[in-house]
Amino acid sequence: MSIFSGLFRSRDKPGHRPKDSTNGSGYRYYFGSSSSGKAVTERSAMQISAVYACVRVLSEAIASLPLHLYRYTDKNSKEKAVDHPLYPLLHDEPNPEMTSFIFRETLMTHLLLWGNAYAQIIRNGRGEVAALYPLMANRMRVNRDENGHLYYEYQMSTSDAPTMKAGTVRLMPNDVLHIPGLGFDGLVGYSPIAMAKNSIGMAMATEEYGATFFKNGANPSGILSMPGVVKDPEKIRNSWEAGFGGSSNSNKVAILEEGMTYTPISISPEQAQFLETRKFQLDEIARIFRIPPHMIGDLEHATFSNIEQQSLEFVSYTLEPWLVRWEQSMQRSLLSPEEKKSYFIRFNVDGLLRGDYQSRMNGYSTGIQNGIFSVNDVRELENMDLLSDEEGGNIHVLNGNVVKLADAGSAYNQNSNKEDTNGKGKQVLEMGKKQAARSSKSRTGNGRTDAVP
In a domain, 96, yes or no: yes
Compute the Cα dihedral for 364, 366, 369, 371 and give only its sign: negative
Mean pLDDT of all residues in 231-256? 63
Q: Determine the pLDDT at residue 124.
A: 92
CA–CA distances in Å: residue 309 to residues 64, 240, 292, 358: 21, 55, 11, 16
Q: Kindly report the CA angle at 305 between 300 and 308, in degrees rounded to 5? A: 90
Mean pLDDT of all residues in 55-82? 91
In a domain, 242, yes or no: no
Q: Determine the pLDDT at residue 234.
A: 72
Whether 229 has a pLDDT exceeding 60, the answer reads yes
**Could you tell me if 112 and 57 are in contact, meaning their C-beta atoms sit under 8 angstroms apart?**
no
Whether 46 has a pLDDT exceeding 80, the answer reads yes
CA-based nearest residue to 250, from 214, 285, 287, 277: 214
**Could you tell me if 131 and 67 are in contact, meaning their C-beta atoms sit under 8 angstroms apart?**
no
CA dist., res. 40 & res. 34, Å (int): 7
Phi, psi of 346 (to 5 degrees): -145, 145
- What residue type is 270 in one-letter code? E
In a domain, 410, yes or no: no
Phi, psi of 232 (to 5 degrees): -135, 80
pLDDT digits over 174-200, tens only? 999 999 998 888 888 888 888 888 888
Max mean pLDDT among 5-9, 317-321, 388-392 falls in 317-321
Mean pLDDT of all residues in 225-230? 66
Mean pLDDT of all residues in 79-100? 95
Q: Determine the pLDDT at residue 420.
A: 55
CA dist., res. 256 & res. 435, Å (int): 133
Q: Determine the pLDDT at residue 112.
A: 94
CA dist., res. 399 & res. 21, Å (int): 58
| pTM listed for this prediction | 0.68
Task: For 65-103, give one letter per residue: b (16+ CB within 10 A) or e.
Answer: bebbbbbeeeeeeeeebeebebbebbeebbbeebebeeb
Domain count of the chain? 1
Q: How confident is the model at residue 312 (pLDDT cuts 50, 70, 90)?
A: confident
In a domain, 197, yes or no: yes
Q: How confident is the model at residue 328 (pLDDT cuts 50, 70, 90)?
A: very high
Q: 55 lies in which domain range?
A: 8-135+175-213+269-353
In a domain, 318, yes or no: yes
In a domain, 380, yes or no: no
CA dist., res. 44 & res. 31, Å (int): 11
Whether 26 has a pLDDT exceeding 70, the answer reads no
User: Burial, 220: exposed, middle or buried (Cβ in 10 Å; 0-12, 13-18, 19+)?
Assistant: middle
* Chain mean position to CA 323: 6
User: What proportion of the chain, given as a percentage, has pLDDT over 70?
Assistant: 63
In a domain, 431, yes or no: no
In a domain, 123, yes or no: yes
**Could you tell me if 132 and 94 are in contact, meaning their C-beta atoms sit under 8 angstroms apart?**
yes
Compute the Cα dihedral for 125, 128, 132, 138 and give only its sign: positive
**Could you tell me if 263 and 222 are in contact, meaning their C-beta atoms sit under 8 angstroms apart?**
yes
Element spanning 82, H or E: none
Tell me the pLDDT of the chain averaged across its residues.
76
**Could you tell me if 224 and 236 are in contact, meaning their C-beta atoms sit under 8 angstroms apart?**
yes
Q: Determine the pLDDT at residue 96.
A: 94
80: CB partners within 8 A, 6+ apart:
68, 69, 70, 71, 87
**Could you tell me if 196 and 289 are in contact, meaning their C-beta atoms sit under 8 angstroms apart?**
no
CA dist., res. 237 & res. 217, Å (int): 15
Return the higher-pLDDT residue of 157 and 111. Answer: 111
Q: Determine the pLDDT at residue 425.
A: 54
- What residue type is 208 in one-letter code? E
Mean pLDDT of all residues in 54-61? 94
**Could you tell me if 260 and 226 are in contact, meaning their C-beta atoms sit under 8 angstroms apart?**
yes
pLDDT digits over 404-431, tens only? 666 666 656 665 655 555 555 556 556 6
pLDDT digits over 361-379, tens only? 888 888 888 888 899 988 8
- What residue type is 49 in one-letter code? S
C-alpha neighbours within 13 Å on the C-beta side of residue 139: 16
- List the beta bridge partners of residue 117: 179
